[in-house]
Amino acid sequence: MGVTPDDRELLGAYALDALDDQEVAAVEALLERDPDSAREVERLREAAAWIAATEALAPPRDLRSQLFARAKALSPELRVYRQAVARHEALLDSIPESALDASTTNGLSVGDLVVHLAAMESAVAETIGFPQAVTAETDVEARTDDYLREFSADPLGAGRTTWCAATVALDEWSSSGSERASLPWSGLAVGRRTILATRAFELWTHDDDIRVALGRDREAPTEPELAVMSDVAVGILPFCVTSNGETAPAASVRMVLTGAGGGSWDVSLDGREHAGVDVTVTMNVVDYCRRVADRITIDECAARIDGDTDLGHRILACAAALATL
Amino acid sequence: MTAATEWEHDVHRRLISGDQDALGECYDQFSSFVYGLSQRVIGDRRAAEDITQDVFLYLWERADAFDPDRGGLRTWLGTLAHRRSVDYVRREEARRRRTERVGNEAPTTPDVEEMAVAIVTAERVRAALETLPTEQRDAIHLAYFGGKTYREVAVVLNIPEGTAKSRMRLGLARIASVLEQEGVGQWA
């Protein structure tokens, strides 16, 4: 679609926030398709920001300490969760209606995946009192199916609305509750930290699914996100190795995840103390997260296994169990 | 469009990695700018304080949303602060309750070098604003500091809506040109 001078006539008012919502949407669509307009808006916004600089005024002295008190009160997990939520919202903004039927990695369409996330986020939120709107079902697939039926007319709009409301409820619970607060999830009492990390993990995973379906590049989480997500993903390894009903091996594993946000963990798989580690698995932290999400195969992990090779492979095979929770 | 400085790239990386000192540097550098803008648009100290905190908390939570390859931190924070301030004004109709602006507080910025740059730049912007045709300056002021839409500006100035749009765009472009000619962007 071509761009006419008339289309660009709104750019000044846009840079000054002097448009109504419909006009903002029209200009933002224009900016998506016309790099010249996008450059002009950046230039006009910069000019506007310098106009604002003529009004600089020192804030009250205690505002700085108030800000830092709020920043410090924000746990790394809640910060990561909020980042994941905001990034998902931005992604939802960019999904064209025409792409809703595109297939994603896990078999659901883009639209279905948006609804699936609404089903999952609301399931967690319902355990803290979020009103149950669609179903009492807790099985992942059955619950998603119920939501897909309910939201079939408007998966993007209805899915987003429900998902947003659930994230707000979860955020409020996380901001106000005790550090040791926990939720019942998959038969376990799961701590706040783990809940937030796993929600961020699922959002990142499905955001990547959507990006790939839309023909875009996958994105790696930031360093703090990886630090939180990998810590939780390594911590649940003992649960993962027994999730298929097998007995936990009497062994200890050293997970060495390389790259920013990685680290090293010694994990007892049976909960007992061991004199040393039986196997060391070394791999990239993003690859590990993608393996845990079952988005890459063991071969694609390029993991180095030192020690008990069979155990190392079993751990990498079981690590993807998180994806089924 | 002005590229971000080396400091902005550095502080961006540190914010993403969770370095609170980086937040402090940003606050010291830009809090007067953000607070002054919010106060000017809203005319309510308490609301301007809330928005200033929210803007910097958003920077802390969502540093990844700022892309230094697309522009400077001042523009990004200014856009954020202005949008939130205008939203506040429109939502709360705060203009009706606007208190008289306190005019005897000097513009300040905490960092000595930044202070010098910002003051000089602000003077140049004031001068650039003075060179604008009055009708363009009025349109920009009513929209930017008054929180009005271009349609409301058109009504206030008794001009066609298309003229209001044009005046805003032309006026801003003219200020951008003046600033670029004077090399202001290199310091931003």
Q: Which of B77, B100, B123 is the last residue of a domain?
A: B100
Query: Domain residues for A283?
Result: 231-324
Instruction: State whether A192 and A269 are in the same domain.
Output: no
* CATH for A114: 1.20.120.450
Cα–Cα distances (Å) from A207 to A114, A218, A228, B67, B185, in that order, read 9, 8, 18, 20, 36
Instruction: State whether A129 and A209 are in the same domain.
Output: yes
Q: Quick check: B176 contacting A, CB < 8 Å?
A: yes
Instruction: State whether A199 and A87 are in the same domain.
Output: yes
Minimal Cα–Cα distance from A235 to chain B, Å?
A: 22
**CB within 8 A of A101, min separation 6: which ones?**
A109, A110, A111
Instruction: State whether A155 and A207 are in the same domain.
Output: yes
* Spatial distance between the Cα atoms of B15 and A1, rounded to a whole number of angstroms: 39
State residue B104's pLDDT score: 41
Give residue-wise pLDDT tens across range B2-48. Answer: 667 888 899 998 998 888 999 999 999 999 999 999 999 998 899 99
Q: Which of B73, B100, B127 is the last residue of a domain?
A: B100
- CA geometry: angle A293, A200, B88, nearest 5 deg: 155
Instruction: State whether A83 and A214 are in the same domain.
Output: yes
Instruction: State whether A108 and A198 are in the same domain.
Output: yes
Chain B residues 43-82 within an 8 A CB cutoff of chain A: 48-49, 52-53, 56-57, 60-62, 64-65, 70-72, 74-75, 77-79, 81-82
**What's the rounded mean pLDDT across residues A15-25?**
91
Name the residue among B35, B176, B29, B184 with its Cα closest to residue B115.
B29
Chain B residues 6-25 within an 8 A CB cutoff of chain A: 16-18, 20, 23-24
Count the helices and strands in chain B (H runs, E runs). 8, 0
Minimal Cα–Cα distance from A67 to chain B, Å?
A: 6
* Spatial distance between the Cα atoms of A271 and A266, rounded to a whole number of angstroms: 11
**What's the rounded mean pLDDT across residues A113-117?**
95
* CATH for B89: 1.10.1740.10
Cα–Cα distances (Å) from A142 to A55, A145, A147, A149, B80, in that order, read 57, 5, 9, 11, 41
Instruction: State whether B13 and B93 are in the same domain.
Output: yes
Instruction: State whether A214 and A240 are in the same domain.
Output: no
Contacts of A16 in chain B (CB under 8 A): 82, 140, 143-144, 150, 168, 172
Q: Which of B52, B77, B100 is the last residue of a domain?
A: B100
| Terminal Cα distance for chain B, rounded | 10
Q: Hey, what long-range contacts does A3-9 have (CB within 8 A, 24 or more apart)?
A: A3/A30, A3/A33, A3/A34, A3/A36, A3/A37, A7/A34, A7/A37, A8/A37, A8/A40, A8/B169, A9/B162, A9/B165, A9/B166, A9/B169
> Considering CB atoms only, which of B70, B129, B169 is closest to A9?
B169
**CB within 8 A of A112, min separation 6: which ones?**
A104, A144, A148, A155
- CA geometry: angle B97, B103, B108, nearest 5 deg: 115
Q: Quick check: B42 contacting A, CB < 8 Å?
A: no
CB contact under 8 A, B78 and A49: yes
Instruction: State whether B70 and B89 are in the same domain.
Output: yes
State residue A169's pLDDT score: 92
Minimal Cα–Cα distance from A27 to chain B, Å?
A: 13
Written as six digits, the tokens of A203 are: 């959002």
Residue A187 lies in a domain: yes
Number of domains in chain B: 2
Instruction: State whether A271 and A307 are in the same domain.
Output: yes
Contacts of B40 in chain A (CB under 8 A): 52, 55, 57
* CATH for A298: 3.30.1050.10
Instruction: State whether A44 and A88 are in the same domain.
Output: no
Instruction: State whether B42 and B83 are in the same domain.
Output: yes
* CATH for B164: 1.10.10.10
Number of domains in chain A: 3
Instruction: State whether A276 and A307 are in the same domain.
Output: yes
Are A3 and A30 within 8 A, CB to CB?
Answer: yes
CB contact under 8 A, A58 and B1: no
Instruction: State whether B85 and B115 are in the same domain.
Output: no
Give residue-wise pLDDT tens across range A193-228. Answer: 888 998 999 999 999 999 999 999 999 998 889 999
A1 versus A259: the higher-pLDDT residue is: A259
Mean pLDDT computed over every residue of chain B: 82
Give residue-wise pLDDT tens across range B58-91. Answer: 999 888 889 888 888 999 999 999 999 998 988 7
State residue B114's pLDDT score: 56
Mutation site, B8, B61, B91, interface A, largest A CB count within 10 A: B61
Instruction: State whether A215 and A91 are in the same domain.
Output: yes
Which of A183-187, A201-205, A267-271, B114-118 bottoms out in mean pLDDT, i.e. has the lowest? B114-118
* Spatial distance between the Cα atoms of A306 and A117, rounded to a whole number of angstroms: 38
**Whether residue A116 has pLDDT greater than 80:** yes
Contacts of B126 in chain A (CB under 8 A): 54
Residue A59 lies in a domain: no
Q: What is the residue type of A145? A: D
Residue A67 lies in a domain: no
- Chain A to chain B Cβ contacts (< 8 Å): 215
Instruction: State whether B3 and B89 are in the same domain.
Output: yes
Instruction: State whether B162 and B112 are in the same domain.
Output: yes
Instruction: State whether A37 and A83 are in the same domain.
Output: no
Q: Which of A219, A247, A266 is the last residue of a domain?
A: A219
Q: Which of A184, A219, A254 is the last residue of a domain?
A: A219
CB contact under 8 A, B20 and A68: yes
Query: Domain residues for B187?
Result: 107-188
